[in-house]
Amino acid sequence: MKYIYQSLLFFFLGGMLFTSCKNRETGKSPSENDTVVQADEDFRPDFHFTPKSGWMNDPNGMFYLDGTYHLFFQHNPDDNVWGPMHWGHATSTDMINWEEQPIALEPDENGTIFSGSAVVDHDNTSGLGDGETPPVIAIFTYHNAEREQEGEDDFQTQGIGYSLDAGETWTKYEDNPVLGNPGIRDFRDPKVIWYEEENKWIMSLAVQDRISFFSSPNLLDWEHESDFGQDLGGHGGVWECPDLFKMEVDNTDEEKWVLLVSINPGGPNGGSATQYFVGDFDGSTFTPDESIANMGEEHNYWLDFGKDNYAGVTWSNIPEEDGRHLFIGWMSNWQYANEVPTETWRSAMTLPRDLKLTQQENTYRIVSTPVRELEKYSTEGISESSVEIKDSTSLATSADLDLSQAEILFEIPELQEKKYTFSLSNEKGDVLKFGYDHGKEEFFIDRSNSGLVDFNENFANKISTAPRFSDAENLEVRAIIDNMSIELFFDGGHTVMTEIFFPQQAFNNFSAEGDNKFTLENLQINQIN
């Protein structure tokens, strides 16, 4: 008996030592033959934004000013599940390396602070400026949980807050809300832009199954302009987090308007996802392009086909010289976000992405790539101009580089009728697979055996798939891995898939296999530090 206690004590202390003995180079727990499931900090991404502690969902109020990118986020600082929403705040000079700031907006007597946007009011149209610095105005949804509990329908209204120190501190407008609720339960997520053709502000608001547009000369008084989308696009769930902006069609002088609309549930692989519409906007009405107007309710205009990119919108106030449309999304899905196996913090943002609009056959499609700022964090690991793949061929292991923060690029020339599978794996038998089935013209991610998957039945119950939009003979693949996430950019970003995973220990092998022999070209595996 005494022996049993002694051994138990030994194992207990040994276990404690083992788990707390982190590798000094990587800051990670030992992973070779480690029997310990990874801890919270092992899952935490290195170059994606996560809150220090507590819960996070949607990105909010992103704006750029004087060299700083601001990111606000839906935040429950006191718990690791969704709850009373605040706007957390983080700043960065390159959108990769973020510094968390004090909470920007807290709940008040009008309600908790749901999603919304922020704009720099350069001309002080709101009159909230002090005549020196342009005020930054945040426009958000107040969610009044008491009114909701009382059975009322008008519990979501729009309020504003302003900052006179370039986003550091915030004051709520004293006459909030600025836009009351007409008695509609889902009435939220205002995204505001300056419509310079008519010198007015336009607000896109998600209203159940449509987007309502409002206009204002001063951000304080709003007038309803029109509604869009009740009978178009995906309607498997409620519409949320819209974003309307003008884009140049790549390599032309044509301009089109793009409307992003998040939907939950109803995504292409289940749960939450973001669809988009391309068309024209005349200051009052959004008219979808003919190719899109004719698509009916079945469509494949999704910004990302993976399960973990939701509620994303673009940055405001990006200087004209830059001209990019910079996007960031929440890297989770409402199906299981509250249950993912981290305790002290929950959820990360996607990598910031540069959106472009391309014309393809008779329609328009968004192409996304990671922002170029990521490149300065990447150092070359493996580089091979050509590799023969037969059966299952290992292409990199932890002896080459740390595969948990890496970027993998390659091309498959002359696609043939077969399935190409790429795997990240570890000695625990966890494997994350992704690839392309040329027979079905379908990309896929399979996380069914990727480690911890049982925390929710919808996490890994099916393989996620995505269509291919390019008919090029060569397939270009770029995969970016950051501890718990993979972001796949196929065909230069024409099809994108983002998913999260929780391996029992870090993945330390990357391999490829095909139905027959094939060649990979321009294989490059970089470390991202």
Active site residues: 58
What are the two backbone dihedrals, phi and then psi, of residue 527, each rounded to the nearest 5 degrees? -85, 135
Query: Quick check: 308 binds ligand FRU (CB under 6 A)?
Result: no
Q: How far is the CB of 307 from ligand FRU (least distance, A)?
A: 14
Query: Quick check: 118 binds ligand FRU (CB under 6 A)?
Result: no
Query: Quick check: 311 binds ligand FRU (CB under 6 A)?
Result: yes
Q: In the range 74-93, which residues lie near ligand FRU by CB under 6 A?
A: 74, 85
The one-character DSSP state at 135 is P
Check if the beta carbon of residue 19 is closer than 8 Å to that of residue 28. Answer: no
Q: Tokens 């959820």 map to which residue? A: 347
Interface with ligand FRU: number of residues (CB under 6 A):
12
Query: Quick check: 349 binds ligand FRU (CB under 6 A)?
Result: no
Helices and strands in the chain: count of H runs, count of E runs = 4, 33
For ligand FRU, give the closer residue by CB, 161 or 514.
Answer: 161
Q: Helix (H, G, I), strand (E, B), or coil: what is residue 462?
A: coil
For ligand FRU, give the closer residue by CB, 59 or 435.
Answer: 59
Q: How far is the CB of 27 from ligand FRU (least distance, A)?
A: 31
Q: How far is the CB of 177 from ligand FRU (least distance, A)?
A: 14
What are the two backbone dihedrals, phi and then psi, of residue 481, each rounded to the nearest 5 degrees? -115, 135
Check if the beta carbon of residue 474 is closer than 8 Å to that of residue 490. Answer: no
Separation CA 115–CA 191 (nearest Å)? 9
Query: Quick check: 189 binds ligand FRU (CB under 6 A)?
Result: yes
- Identify the residue among 34, 42, 58, 487 touching ligand FRU (CB under 6 A): 58
Q: In the range 218-247, which residues lie near ligand FRU by CB under 6 A?
A: 240-241
Q: Using the Cα atoms of residue 156, residue 195, residue 373 and residue 471 in order, give the sign of their dihedral.
A: positive
Q: How far is the CB of 12 from ligand FRU (least distance, A)?
A: 41
Separation CA 393–CA 391 (nearest Å)? 6
- Identify the residue among 125, 126, 141, 483 touching ligand FRU (CB under 6 A): 141
For ligand FRU, give the closer residue by CB, 30 or 84.
Answer: 84
Q: How does strand 485-490 pair with strand 431-437?
A: unpaired
Task: Please return the burial class of 17, using the count of CB atoms within 10 Å of its CB with bins 0-12, 13-18 and 19+.
Answer: exposed
Instruction: Kindly report the length of the chain.
Output: 529
- Identify the residue among 70, 89, 172, 188 touching ligand FRU (CB under 6 A): 188
- Identify the residue among 31, 50, 57, 504 touching ligand FRU (CB under 6 A): 57
Query: Quick check: 192 binds ligand FRU (CB under 6 A)?
Result: no
Query: Quick check: 62 binds ligand FRU (CB under 6 A)?
Result: no
- CB burial string 409-424: b at 16+ within 10 A, e below: bbebeebeeeebbbbb
Residue type (1 letter), 393: T
Q: How far is the CB of 238 from ligand FRU (least distance, A)?
A: 8
Q: In the range 22-41, which residues lie near ligand FRU by CB under 6 A?
A: none
Beta strands in 289-347 (DSSP E): 310-314, 325-330, 345-346
For ligand FRU, give the closer residue by CB, 106 or 521.
Answer: 106
Query: Quick check: 304 binds ligand FRU (CB under 6 A)?
Result: no
Q: How many CA atoms lie within 13 A of 388 on its CB side?
A: 2
- Identify the residue among 98, 114, 276, 444 touching ligand FRU (CB under 6 A): 114
Q: In the range 147-176, which residues lie near ligand FRU by CB under 6 A?
A: none
Binding site for ligand FRU (CB under 6 A): 57-58, 74, 85, 114-115, 141, 188-189, 240-241, 311
